[in-house]
Structure 1
Amino acid sequence: MAYPRTNRIGEEIKKLVSHLIRNELKDPRISNLTSVVDVDVTRDLRYANIFISVYGTQEEKESTIDGLTKAAGFVRKEIGKSLKLRYTPEPIFKMDTSIEKGLYISSLINKVNAKETRNENDDNTN
């Protein structure tokens, strides 16, 4: 069940973390092609699961997660400065694979469509 307050806080954290990744974090492990896809804040506001997407190789994705995990303290401090909450949520960075899954499913659909088109063309020539 979604709660409006946690959704609003999640959106604010998403904006803030996106800004931090783009402008503040200077860790060379963090890829330039990193985006924050979603933020899921627990009901008690103790944790913020931050789902990120990285365009690149598996090694770049892993190193970006490592860099962000090392910067979690800085990110939490910046969240605390920006949002006035009783508790500042602990950021937990997770890789979001929904884009890759979507591309994979899209490629499967394209293959099926291409195969059906070839079968129809073969039937019409006979």
Structure 2
Amino acid sequence: MADPARARKIADRIKEVIAANLEQVIKDPDLGFVTITDVRVTGDLQHASVFYTVFGDDDQRQRSSEILQAHRGKLRSLVGRHLGIRLTPTLELIPDALPETASHLDDLLRSAREHDEQVARAAAGAAPAGEADPYKKPADGEDEHDGADAR
């Protein structure tokens, strides 16, 4: 098993190599705007999971995914040339769910903000229940301490 720091360095290097050379390796005009978001390498350095996002609609994402899968061998060869290690890890290309998750969180935050605005509007015209000043006050002519100190 490799050192975790070494595995992280190799993952970072794979990310840089693929991101920088993706357009040169895959010369397909149907490939969308692909961003490599993360790479994770197993502890034995035999397998790398490459996470990516595609800017565009569902059809563009589907087509780009098919193109990336078809050129996975070329990408692995590229990585092997640039890494310079004995064994080149196999590549698994995985669409990253980060944009969908971020969109869902944005929707939840928008909903919470709207609810907060509704509560603020309801509280704007509200008056406290009971008296305005609920604390007891000494009657006229009485001392504040009610004679507790007088002996």
TM-score by structure 2 length?
A: 0.75
Corresponding residue of 1:97? 97
Corresponding residue of 1:13? 14
When Rg is computed on C-alpha atoms for both structures, the one with the higher figure is 2
CA–CA distance in 2 between the matches of 1:103 and 1:63? Answer: 22
Corresponding residue of 2:112? 112
**Structure 1 or 2: larger helix share?**
1
Q: How far 1:99 sits from its partner (Å)?
A: 2.4
CA–CA distance in 2 between the matches of 1:111 and 1:23? Answer: 43
CA–CA distance in 2 between the matches of 1:27 and 1:51? Answer: 20
Aligned-partner SS, 1:45 = coil
Corresponding residue of 1:50? 50
User: Which runs of no fewer than 5 residues in structure 1 stay unpaired?
Assistant: none
Q: How far 1:40 sits from its partner (Å)?
A: 0.7
TM-score by structure 1 length?
A: 0.89
Q: Over aligned residues, Cα RMSD in angstroms?
A: 1.6
| Counterpart AA for 2:8 | N
Q: How far 1:12 sits from its partner (Å)?
A: 0.4
CA–CA distance in 1 between the matches of 2:96 and 2:78? Answer: 23
Corresponding residue of 2:72? 72
- The answer as to whether partners of 1:29 and 1:66 remain within 8 angstroms in 2 is no
Structure number with the bigger relative contact order (C-alpha 8 A, sep ≥ 6) is: 1
**Kindly, what percent of the aligned residue pairs are identical?**
23
Q: Bigger CA drift: 72-81 or 17-26? A: 17-26
Aligned-partner SS, 2:27 = coil
